[in-house]
Amino acid sequence: MIIEAIILTVITAATPLVIAALGELVTERAGVLNLGVEGMMIMGAVGAFAVMQMTGSPYLGILAGIATGALFSLLFGFLTLTLVANQVATGLALTILGLGVSGNIGEAYVGQPGIKLPQIDIPLLGDLPVIGPILFKQDLVFYLSIALVLGVNWFLFKSRTGLKLRAIGDSHGSAHALGIPVIRTRYLAVMFGGACAGLAGAQLSLVYTPQWVENMSAGRGWIALALVVFGSWRPWRVLAGGYLFGAVTIGQLHAQALGLAIPSQFLSSLPYAATIVVLIIISHNRRTTLINTPACLGKSFVPDR
């Protein structure tokens, strides 16, 4: 069925956006603004593909992508949390560094065929018409993305540790006065964001297009950043926004395939144009944005000595 095929491609396109945005959401809830999502994502993609080529296992590639993203995020954490460097400038530098390093590492893998992460066929449920292939014959990363939405939502709003993390994002000075370890918590949040970005990158090189292509993240890290604002720092809204942007991405590809008399360059820009339009619409509702925005977002913290 054509509709079923379209839905499946939308899911594949949306999954890395959702995962990367969820990681950044937790990072920003802790009061840290990491603009290096694109860099961590592309490093996760090349790390996953390289390990998959060396071991022949896409599952080890997934673990490598997660580890690469987390380790790369530690550089951001060291510069911004320990050395108190500017978070915006450091995040941008991290993206530029990631794109350059990944291109250098991945040069040896250009043109090499990859091993696609296999689908998990859930017995009986996978045989259901329409809904079976969509929900019960998916790859591991799709199920991890849904688990992340549930887990992050529970962690932030139902757990004591999540409450402490949100307290740090809203007032790191008050949290420090109450004995909450601000820097340690922010380090862990940054690493979680990096691990999610690395997993999103691994999905690109092992599921979305099982091969290595330089700059294959193609701006998805920036869309993930916009998704956090679009979702008002709420996991379920981020999930909805991710699938909305995934649909826009796949929609422009189908429009090109149909041969519509529209310049291909314009169609290719639609996902990013949609990002700008959504951010403009959100900016008009200042009250909702201010209520959910962590008050200390992007602000450095230096504990009293």
| pLDDT tens column, 166-187 | 999 999 999 999 999 999 999 9
Give the residue among 68, 21, 22 at the shortest CA–CA distance from 42. Answer: 68
Give the residue among 69, 21, 42 at the shortest CA–CA distance from 215. Answer: 42
**Domain containing 266: what range?**
2-118+127-292
Q: Taking a C-beta distance cutoff of 8 angstroms, is the pair 182, 301 a contact? A: yes
The confidence band for 193, taking pLDDT boundaries of 50, 70 and 90, is very high
Residue 266 has pLDDT above 90, yes or no: no
Q: Is residue 196 part of a domain?
A: yes
Q: Which two tokens stand for residue 208?
A: 């979305």
Beta-strand runs (E) in 63-209: 119-121, 137-139
High-pLDDT (> 90) share of the chain, %? 65
Which pTM does this prediction carry? Answer: 0.92
Task: Give the residue-averaged pLDDT of 273-287.
Answer: 71
Report how many domains make up the chain: 1
pLDDT tens per residue, range 105-125: 999 898 888 889 998 888 878
Residue type, 305: R
Spatial separation of the C-alpha atoms in residues 50 and 59, rounded to whole Å? 12
Per-residue model confidence (pLDDT) at position 287: 67
Q: Check which CATH number belongs to the domain holding 70 and give it.
A: 1.10.3470
Q: Is residue 304 part of a domain?
A: no
Q: Is residue 305 part of a domain?
A: no
First to last CA, the chain: 65
Q: Taking a C-beta distance cutoff of 8 angstroms, is the pair 167, 186 a contact? A: no
Q: Is residue 302 part of a domain?
A: no
The confidence band for 144, taking pLDDT boundaries of 50, 70 and 90, is very high
The whole-chain average pLDDT of the chain stands at 89
Give the residue among 242, 248, 234, 246 at the shortest CA–CA distance from 208. Answer: 246
Task: Give the residue-averaged pLDDT of 150-169.
Answer: 96
Q: Is residue 50 part of a domain?
A: yes
Q: Is residue 303 part of a domain?
A: no
Residue 146 has pLDDT above 70, yes or no: yes
Residue 52, SS3 per DSSP: helix
Residue 305 has pLDDT above 60, yes or no: no
Q: Is residue 280 part of a domain?
A: yes
The confidence band for 267, taking pLDDT boundaries of 50, 70 and 90, is low
Q: Is residue 63 part of a domain?
A: yes
